[in-house]
Structure 1
Amino acid sequence: MTLRYPQVLLLLCALTALPPAIGAENIKLDTPAGGWRNGAPGGEDENFSQTVNYPASSVNTPQGQANTARITGQIQGAPKGNAPGQLIVNGVSLPLKLDEQGRFDRPFSFPNGSNSVEVRSPDGQQRHRTQFLNTSGGATPAKLRVLLTWDSDGTDLDLHLVTPDGAHIWYGDRAVANGAALDVDVTTGYGPEIFAMPAPIKGQYLVYVNYYGGGYRYQDDGEEGEGGGEQAQQALTTAQVTVITEEGTPNEKMETFVVPMRAVGELTLVKSFSYP
């Protein structure tokens, strides 16, 4: 469908004329901004990559990242502690890691068309939402995307995809010859890790999640002496995998799967599906 000038104006009015959000004055959303925008030319600055070192260091948006591929801002007065905020992008709920001042800066690759971004405080009492119309600036939109998030900080889960031609996309091989790529490898909790493929091959896809490391908590057993005191226990973390096909089109389909991950080294087949 081709939008003519009056239609574009009506759509922009609909995107920007949102009802006030609860407690929105306490949430500052720097990017994305509402309205109509073009993506980075060719999408070069929207491909995230970073050097991964273990033990992991914090991964946020890489230096020099295009604003068209960032979600940044601050939740003022956010409760102190490690509780994440909540980020809802186009209906997909994601944990949002906050620093001590309530700031957040996460990479995200937005599809063409209308996009909605909502940020909520950890207690859910404050929320702020914006909508915008995105054009790719010449980049080919992804027809298949898979998002991985999880519900614990200080942990590293990894997304693995096997495509019908046998290619294996993971943090060790993020971009392969068939055009599939893993945008970013988040190593310190929550995610998201995003797999994207502009021209999916027909056939069966396999989606795996690997519990790479971290996730330890400490518990005092109440005893003194040898073997007493604090002992490490493996914390359960829950993975959420969302598979999106034909995103941003009338044929868009979305499925979300929740999988408990109990032990480091665990590799779980989350979903096997055929495309188209």
Structure 2
Amino acid sequence: MHPRRILRAISCLPALLLATLVAAEPGAGMSSPSAGWRYSGLTDDQNAPRVAYPTPPIDRGGVRGRSLIEGHLREVAGVDRAQRLVVNGNPLPLYTDAEGRFVRPYNFGAGSNSVEVASAEGKSLKRIQFYEANNSRVPPRIRLALGWNDPKAELDLHIVTPDGQHAFWANPRLPGGGGLDPDGVDGPGPEMFTVAAPLHGTYLVYVNYWGNLNSQGYNFQNGSNQQDVITAEINLVFNENTVNEKRETFVVPMRTIGDLVLVKTFNY
């Protein structure tokens, strides 16, 4: 080969190496929700095919106000290692299928909302901001969001309201308004309790380790979960998406099927 051609080939190596490294950099794409101005009901296509790990995002939520957070991860795909999904400041574990695809339900309130996907190491991979202009979706006065770090376990959120009502998977909608939405049934959540006009008084927040989940369905076999100790993370948010927003986060270990833990008692 002519010496000039050899020099030209060598000079191209750094660019090729850089392109390879950039292509292999972890990243994320998000098809829903979209950034910018949004009016739910016009942009949500409930008939579109969905993918999720390990099952489609079908839940028993009572309010039916959810949207889907849908996208894919590049170079960080896998069902054994949780990435992070941060929605309006609420961190939740995020697992994908073998191709890196994910779908998670979420109940957005009116106003400004943010969705961020981060790697397990905390590096931001994708972040969008959108304004929900549907005024029927009022900002919640109380929001509780539960997520956990084991895709093979099923945890449940239980809320007892000041009038003695009990919101949980078999009773998702409360007569006074609000309730569970969504009630995630396919891995690490999220499960959410949302209420726009809460009663004044004392609320009790419990987390129950209900059972495990595998390709055959739900089971109650100890050891069929992935983590020896499951870490449940509960975010309590007051006046979300307003200037008066306040939040607390609680981390609770769950060890045995049947565990029922009182996480928080608070007054509103």
| TM-score (normalised: structure 1) | 0.73
Q: What corresponds to 1:203 in structure 2? A: 201
Tell me if structure 2 keeps the 8 A contact 1:88–1:117: yes
Matched, 1:26 2:23: no
Q: What corresponds to 1:119 in structure 2? A: 117
| Offset of residue 38 of structure 1 | 1.6
Alpha-carbon distance in 2 for matches of 1:213, 1:32: 31
Q: What corresponds to 1:192 in structure 2? A: 190
| TM-score (normalised: structure 2) | 0.75
Specify which of 245, 253, 257 is matched with residue 250 of structure 2: 257
Q: What corresponds to 2:137 in structure 1? A: 139
Alpha-carbon distance in 2 for matches of 1:67, 1:145: 13
| Offset of residue 69 of structure 1 | 1.2
Tell me if structure 1 keeps the 8 A contact 2:109–2:137: no
| Offset of residue 180 of structure 1 | 2.2
Q: What corresponds to 1:16 in structure 2? A: none
Q: How does 1:13-92 map to 2 (within 5 A)?
A: 26-40=27-41, 58-60=55-57, 69-92=67-90
Q: What corresponds to 2:106 in structure 1? A: 108
Q: What corresponds to 2:234 in structure 1? A: 241
Alpha-carbon distance in 1 for matches of 2:234, 2:147: 7
| Offset of residue 250 of structure 1 | 0.8
| Offset of residue 71 of structure 1 | 0.6
Specify which of 99, 111, 124 is matched with residue 97 of structure 2: 99
* AA matched with 2:189: G
Which protein is bigger by CA-based radius of gyration? 2
Instruction: From the superposition, tell whether residues 253 and 24 of structure 1 become closer, same or farther in structure 2 (CA, over 3 Å).
Output: farther
Alpha-carbon distance in 1 for matches of 2:162, 2:124: 44
Cα deviation, 1:182-229, whole Å, max 9, x if unaligned, reads 01222342111011111000000000000001289xxxxxxxxxxxxx
Q: What corresponds to 1:165 in structure 2? A: 163
Identity rate of aligned residues, in percent? 40
Alpha-carbon distance in 1 for matches of 2:116, 2:251: 21
Q: What corresponds to 1:181 in structure 2? A: 179
* AA matched with 1:26: G
* AA matched with 1:95: P
| Offset of residue 175 of structure 1 | 0.2
| Offset of residue 58 of structure 1 | 2.6
* AA matched with 1:244: V
Tell me if structure 2 keeps the 8 A contact 1:61–1:105: no
Cα deviation, 1:99-156, whole Å, max 9, x if unaligned, reads 1100011111112221111112345556111111112342343211110111111101
Alpha-carbon distance in 2 for matches of 1:267, 1:108: 24
Cα deviation, 1:24-59, whole Å, max 9, x if unaligned, reads 883111111111112238xx999xxxxxxxxxx735
Residue ranges of structure 2 left out of the alignment (5+ in a row):
1-23, 47-53, 215-221
Alpha-carbon distance in 1 for matches of 2:45, 2:144: 20
Tell me if structure 2 keeps the 8 A contact 1:39–1:137: no
Tell me if structure 1 keeps the 8 A contact 2:232–2:254: yes
Alpha-carbon distance in 2 for matches of 1:25, 1:233: 30
Alpha-carbon distance in 2 for matches of 1:121, 1:242: 20
How many residue pairs were aligned? 224
**More displaced stretch, 144-153 vs 120-129:** 120-129
Alpha-carbon distance in 1 for matches of 2:105, 2:58: 5
Q: What corresponds to 1:52 in structure 2? A: none
**More displaced stretch, 234-243 vs 136-145:** 136-145
